């Protein structure tokens, strides 16, 4: 999957979502701030904890939506550092987009070869419409599911979560 992937690739990490690996998952990449940047679960399930698709325009829009991020960024990188960062990121984005395309292409190849997804796709076409899936299929998200269930229960009672 990550053959030829730059070992020191700097990626866009917008949020601060940390998570523990579910049982059976294998960490493939980490960074100084995020323990789990790329993960494999089983033979064909992969996850990346970063944004390879984010354009400069996306970042500019996010900064408008979350202006407190500008202050956080400048506290780490210096006052007035955002425009230079956006220029550098905009120049790097075509390379990042190419890396994302390569990664997605390899994932598809792997899924078709190892995961036998072609047969799965054919089988799914033969099935009729299904009811909504249960949340029990979420792997490694027990804490998040519990918080959502608590918030929903509180909302049904008319209480604050």
Alpha helices (runs of H) in 22-81, residue ranges in sequence order: 56-65, 68-77
Structure tokens at 95: 């390379």
Distance between CA atoms of residues 44 and 20, nearest Å: 20
Residue environment code for 62-97, b if the CB has 16+ CB neighbours within 10 A, otherwise e: eeeeeeeeeeeeeeeeeeeebeeeeeebeeebeebe
Residue 30 pLDDT exceeds 90? no
The mean per-residue pLDDT over the stretch 4-28 comes to 81
Bridge partners of 41, per DSSP, are: 25, 45
pLDDT above 90 covers a percentage of the chain that reads 24
Distance between CA atoms of residues 156 and 53, nearest Å: 37
Residue 2 pLDDT exceeds 80? no
Identify which has the larger pLDDT, 94 or 109: 94
Residue 95 pLDDT exceeds 80? yes
Residue 159 pLDDT exceeds 70? no
């Amino acid at each position: 999957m990550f053959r030829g992937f730059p070992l020191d690739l700097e990626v866009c990490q917008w949020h601060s979502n940390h998570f523990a690996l579910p049982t059976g998952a294998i960490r493939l990449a980490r960074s100084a701030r995020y323990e789990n940047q790329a993960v494999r679960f089983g033979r064909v399930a992969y996850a990346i904890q970063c944004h390879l698709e984010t354009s400069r325009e996306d970042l500019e829009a996010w900064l408008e939506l979350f202006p407190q991020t500008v202050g956080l960024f400048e506290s780490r990188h210096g006052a007035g550092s955002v425009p230079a960062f956006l220029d550098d990121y905009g120049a790097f984005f075509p390379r990042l987009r190419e890396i994302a395309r390569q990664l997605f292409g390899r994932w598809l190849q792997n899924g078709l070869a190892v995961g036998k997804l072609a047969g799965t796709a054919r089988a799914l076409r033969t099935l009729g419409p299904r009811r909504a899936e249960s949340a029990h299929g979420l792997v490694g998200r027990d804490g998040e599911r519990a918080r959502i269930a608590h918030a929903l229960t509180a909302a049904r009672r008319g209480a604050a979560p």
